[in-house]
Amino acid sequence: MKLYNSLTKKIENFIPFNENEVTMYTCGPTVYHYAHIGNLRTYIFEDVLEKSLQYFGYNVKRVMNITDVGHLSSDADTGEDKMVAGAKRENKSVLEIADYYTKAFFNDTKKLNIRTPEIVEKATDHVDKYIVMVQDLLEKDIAYKAGGNIYFDITKYDKYYELSGKNVEDLKIAVRDDVEQDDNKKNPFDFVLWFTKSKFEDQDLKWESPFGMGYPGWHIECSAIALHYLGDHLDIHCGGVDNIFPHHTNEIAQTECHLGHKWCNFWLHGEHLNDETGKMSKSKGEFLTLSVLEEKGYHPLAYRFFCLKSHYRNQLVFNYDSMDYATNEYNKLKKKVLSLKNDNKEEIDFEKVMEYTKKYKEALADDLNTSKALTVLFDVLKDAQLNSTTKLTLIEDFDKVLSIDLTKEIEVDEELEKYIFEQIEKRNNAKKEKNYALADQIREELLEKGIKIKDNKDNTTYEI
């Protein structure tokens, strides 16, 4: 498999430390709010990565954290604590909102057929491990105490700028709005390992430590959890592009200084999903969640399909026209696949299976080119020489990675059904009021989403 490595900025042949086993760490959600569909795009990419590795025969051991402490509103160490702000917003405790939004996150990922990693760990369950690491960095004189907090001194790590590929001046420009002056820092990009002098007097979660009562900085959780579960050599670490700096940069610095050797070989980053006004952000107030899409009548797997159509390293702009287009395409594709199902089992053409599987693997091995993989799938469907059983065999196999339920009957979940009935009722009312223009518009809007309605004598039914 060839993958783009953000560390070397090259497409490289992927080779794990141990022949058949891949260790993979994914930065998990900060659970102060719902995930937006941009966040979910990143988790879809990581799911495709994990499943592709498995498709190529690797055993994948994957770990993900849940950030329930330490992430401030700027990714540097400034601004409000996201969890505390979330708890205040909802008049709940930090643990209550963490619990609520963790469940909401997994509810969304399940609907998107994103497999839950084997090991999922809450940041607050591993504070002892952060303390050990911070202590080690202090003993090595890589960390220092200032103003009550413990900071990492970035001048002690000579590869600090390797991942971002930027120098200190570029970074200052790139994160200008983010970096509040902290006079305790020796260098502007030194980062907090442990807060004792909390600027948040009402901080709910605090722990005893040799450096005083306090709480960990954001970056240390991923380093310590990854080291604990996946050992001193990590094959793949991934996240969204915004994680490159400072989060992953700081993770590398503190982990390699702690270990005394190189830590992770492959860094993979998914590009952002933007809306038409720019970057999607949870802290922007109104933001697009999977439930919002469902309330508007879109199936979650149509959103997964929408994401798979573009490469994970390209920015993707979300708008409803392209979502309608993808939904239609997805519904048609599904219908075509389902129409192949019949009771006569034909002989499988193994030569063709091998030929198409090879093409499909080549697409995935080409830095997870899912749009190319979908083209192979469409080619299978179009191939007049293939019988239905051969086509279905191939498609079932391809869907192990794509995970868009191509061979399953369409499941209309509660939210989608509610939406459809609401629209039907709205249309019936419009008809009663002789507002035929509105009635037609509703029918058209449903049709754009692949939902066909049919007026019977006594009722209206729908078909997807």
Interface with Zn ion (CB under 5 A): 27, 222
* Complex with ligand AMP: residue 273 or 302, whichever CB lies closer: 273
Q: What does DSSP assign to residue 67?
A: B
Strands (E), 196-315: 215-216, 234-240, 264-270, 273-275, 278-279
* Member of 49, 273, 424, 446 binding ligand AMP (CB under 6 A): 273
Does position 289 interact with ligand AMP (CB under 6 A)? The reply is: no
Which element (helix H / strand E) includes 144? strand 143-146
CA angle 321, 324, 326 (to 5 degrees): 110
Contacts of residue 270, defined as CB under 8 A and 6 or more positions apart, other chains included, come to 41, 42, 45, 46, 238, 239, 240, 241, 312, 313
Least Å distance between CB 275 and ligand AMP?
A: 9
Nearer to ligand AMP, 26 or 369 (CB): 26
Least Cβ distance, residue 351 to ligand AMP (angstroms): 41
Shortest Cβ distance from residue 204 to Zn ion (Å)? 21
Near ligand AMP by CB under 6 A: residue from 42, 327, 370, 390: 42
Host H or E run for residue 208: none
Would you call 414 exposed, middle or buried from its count of C-beta atoms within 10 A (0-12, 13-18, 19+)?
exposed
Out of ligand AMP, Zn ion, none, which partner does residue 222 contact, by CB within 5 to 8 A per kind? Answer: Zn ion
What are the backbone dihedrals phi and psi of residue 180, each rounded to the nearest 5 degrees, phi first? -80, 150
Q: Which of 81, 108, 242, 251 binds ligand AMP (CB under 6 A)?
A: 242
Contacts of 301 (CB under 8 A, 6+ apart): 111, 112, 113, 330, 404, 405
Q: Which two tokens stand for residue 287?
A: 């933001």
Residue 26, CB-side half-sphere exposure with 13 Å CA sphere: 27
| Residue labelled with tokens 């038409």 | 276
By CB under 6 A, tell whether 27 contacts ligand AMP.
yes
Which helix (H) or strand (E) segment holds residue 121: the answer is strand 119-122
The residue from 280, 307, 363, 373 that contacts ligand AMP (CB under 6 A) is 280
The three-class DSSP label of residue 450 is coil
Cα separations in angstroms, 77 against 33, 82, 92, 429: 20, 11, 24, 55
Compose the 424-453 pattern: x for residues touching ligand AMP by CB under 6 A, - for all others: ------------------------------
Is there binding between residue 70 and ligand AMP (CB under 6 A)? no
- State which amino acid sits at residue 373: A
Binding residue (CB under 6 A) for ligand AMP from 5, 6, 30, 149 = 30
Planar angle of CA 290, 296, 297, nearest 5 degrees: 95
Beta carbon of residue 247, minimum distance to Zn ion (angstroms, whole number): 5
Distance of alpha carbon 403 from the chain centroid: 15
- The pair of structure tokens assigned to 236 is 């793949």
Distance of closest approach, residue 126 Cβ to ligand AMP, in angstroms:
17
H or E, element range at 185: none
Question: For the chain, how big is the Rg over CA atoms in Å?
Answer: 25
Query: Which stretch, 271-279, 299-307, 350-358, 366-374, contacts ligand AMP (CB under 6 A)?
Result: 271-279
Asked if the bond preceding 117 is cis, omega within 30° of 0, the reply is no
CB of 316 to ligand AMP, least distance (A): 8
The site that binds ligand AMP (CB under 6 A) totals a number of residues, namely 18
Tell the smallest beta-carbon distance from residue 144 to Zn ion (Å).
23
Binding status of residue 217 toward ligand AMP by CB under 6 A = no
Q: Report if residue 393 touches ligand AMP, rule: CB under 6 A.
A: no
Q: Which is closer to ligand AMP, CB of 83 or CB of 193?
A: 83
Q: Which of residues 146-175 bind ligand AMP (CB under 6 A)?
A: none
* Amino acid (one-letter) located at 10: K
The stretch among 10-18, 27-35, 192-200, 413-421 that binds ligand AMP (CB under 6 A) is 27-35
- Distance of closest approach, residue 382 Cβ to ligand AMP, in angstroms: 32
Q: Does 243 bind ligand AMP (CB under 6 A)?
A: yes
Residues 222-241 that bind ligand AMP (CB under 6 A): 239-240
**Residue 242 binds which of Zn ion, ligand AMP, none (CB < 5-8 A, kind-dependent):** ligand AMP
Contacts with ligand AMP by CB under 6 A lie at 27, 29-30, 38-39, 41-42, 67, 239-240, 242-243, 270, 272-273, 279-280, 282
